[in-house]
Amino acid sequence: MPCGIYTGMSPSLTDAKRTFDPMTDLHPVRRALLSVSDKTGLIELGKALAERGVELLSTGGTAKALRDAGLAVKDVSEITGFPEMMDGRVKTLHPMVHGGLLALRDNDSHVAAMDEHGIGAIDLLVVNLYPFEATVANGAGYDECIENIDIGGPAMIRAASKNHAFVNVVVDVQDYDALLAELAANDGQTSYAFRQNLAQTAYARTAAYDTAVSNWMADALAAQAPRRRAFAGELKQTLRYGENSHQQAVFYTDGTNRPGVATAVQHQGKELSYNNINDTDAAFELVAEFDPAQGAACAIIKHANPCGVAKGATLIEAYKAAFDCDRTSAFGGIIALNQPLDAETAQEITGIFTEVVIAPGASEEAKAIFAAKKNLRLLTTEALPDVTAGGKTVRQVAGGLLVQNKDNGFIDMDDLKVVTKKAPTEEQMRDLLFAWKVAKHVKSNAIVYVKDGATVGVGAGQMSRLDSAMIAAKKAERMADALGLAQPLTIGSAVASDAFFPFPDGLMEAAEAGATCVIQPGGSMRDDEVIAAADEAGLAMVFTGMRHFRH
């Protein structure tokens, strides 16, 4: 990473030592070392510092940008006596630089060493790192990624952060204004508390950078279980509270830029809550299972479980069918769409209270309709997430982290094995695959009834699969009454189970509810018994060979 330095001795270090108590006093900024890959705001910052009489030190492209803006800058090579070498790999790894960052101004031996060797104090370091994360995200090859691993930048950041009693270190463009405000408020000085906060941010940045490098290398080496694994995030939002009002919570992004709640644009409504974010993520990941090129789809989520999912010729048809699965639970829910929101669907959605709507785009007419609902949040993304993409999921437990590959398992028609005497019809097979996609996103034990491309009963999170089947069927009965139907829509439905039926009882419960075909992983010790029960009941059943537990 290009960095700047300074060697000339400044006005008396002895004076600085005599007047500065790092725990209580303000400390002046007289020299700044600026070297950044991201030049956003650089010229404005350089000019503001120069106007305060701060001496500017730099290298490479940063020095050129500052000079082109008419600012006086000293070069690192002028200080160290060495030119940049080895394709820029070596330029700031030098005692003249690190001595100026690390020297304790109130330590007699440190001051004497600076005097003896002509090392000038550096009061401000402004550095952002080689764009390693962006290089990886752009699909660069191994060697190019290696060349974009910064060495000098992190070394200087860590040195300046360690010496925050005297040195300010800025690693984020968004902190430039705060730095200038601090200098303005304190006549060109900064407080110890301010420098502490900068140091904490700086250490977190180098930790995140090293995390990105180490995780990229683990992936490049196909290391499934590296001995050490790091995780990092960047603060996106301080939340009002967590799952409950007595819990503090914040939202961090991981830099992967996956389309979803972390990268969406919020067009209106109050800030998302912890539960909103969790549920919106669940909704959008589910609706992404359905290719928009093959038709509109809608998912309605409540407490991270789908209470209605459907496809339709249009978005409004998909929404209405999803809503009719469980109108009671849909109240105050999260709605995800797989196509841009249109005005007609937006108008229909406003008929009940909804917390969040997320879609890959929205028309101006739809936005205008939602504008009348001040508490309704509208989020849009540029695309749907790729449900087949890899990645990691992380869950904290007492004393550790559980890490696994993302559940991107995919089943199509050719993967299914018919295990009963009766085979599903083509129409039944479409509903079975639809139910299977939904079951993947339902908390275990999961039972999902589907008819004509829409869920008609969902049983989630029960301790037994039998109970999930019963609950889903019971909810379908209640909705039939509410809709004035002669019979529940589970009659003639397809049913999916996220894991195998360990006994025939859950299967028979589904059959009694009216299911005519079943999709499940298989693999139970009693598969033969379950298959025999299905044959006796006249059911068609297919095995996937893959389960989708979701705890």
Instruction: For residue 527, give every residue at least 6 positions away whose Cβ sits within 8 Å of its Cβ, in sequence order, or none.
Output: 419, 500
Rg (CA), the chain: 30
- 419, 531 contact by CB (below 8 A): yes
Burial of 249 (0-12, 13-18, 19+ CB in 10 A): middle
Look up 303 and say whether it is catalytic. yes
Q: Which of 236, 267, 303, 422 is catalytic?
A: 303
Distance, CA of 473 to CA of 321 (rounded, Å): 17
Give bridge partners of residue 497 from the DSSP assignment: 447
211 CB neighbour count, 10 Å cutoff: 18
Can you point out the beta strands (E) in 171-279?
A: 189-190, 234-238, 250-253, 265-268
Whether the Cβ atoms of residue 387 and residue 285 lie closer than 8 Å to each other: yes
DSSP state, residue 81? S
3-state helix, strand, coil in the chain (%, to 5): 40, 20, 40
CA-CA-CA-CA torsion sign (371, 377, 379, 385): negative
Task: Yes or no: say if 339 and 317 are a contact pair by the CB < 8 Å rule.
Answer: no
- E strands, 177-331, in order: 189-190, 234-238, 250-253, 265-268, 296-302, 305-312
Q: Enter the DSSP assignment of 454.
A: B
DSSP conformation class of 25: S
Which residue among the candidates 47, 162, 236, 392 is catalytic per the annotation? 162
Type and span of the H or E element at 383: none
The whole-angstrom separation of Cα 186 and Cα 95 is 31
Taking a C-beta distance cutoff of 8 angstroms, is the pair 325, 355 a contact? no
Would you call 88 exposed, middle or buried from its count of C-beta atoms within 10 A (0-12, 13-18, 19+)? middle
Of the candidates 182, 192, 196, 199, which has an alpha carbon nearest to the alpha carbon of residue 52? 182
Structure tokens at 96: 């003249």
The stretches of 272-314 forming alpha helices (DSSP H) are 274-287
Round to whole Å and give the CA distance between 417 and 546.
Answer: 11
Rounded-to-integer distance, Cα 517 and Cα 432, Å: 8
Beta bridge partners of 306: 301
Active site residues: 162, 303
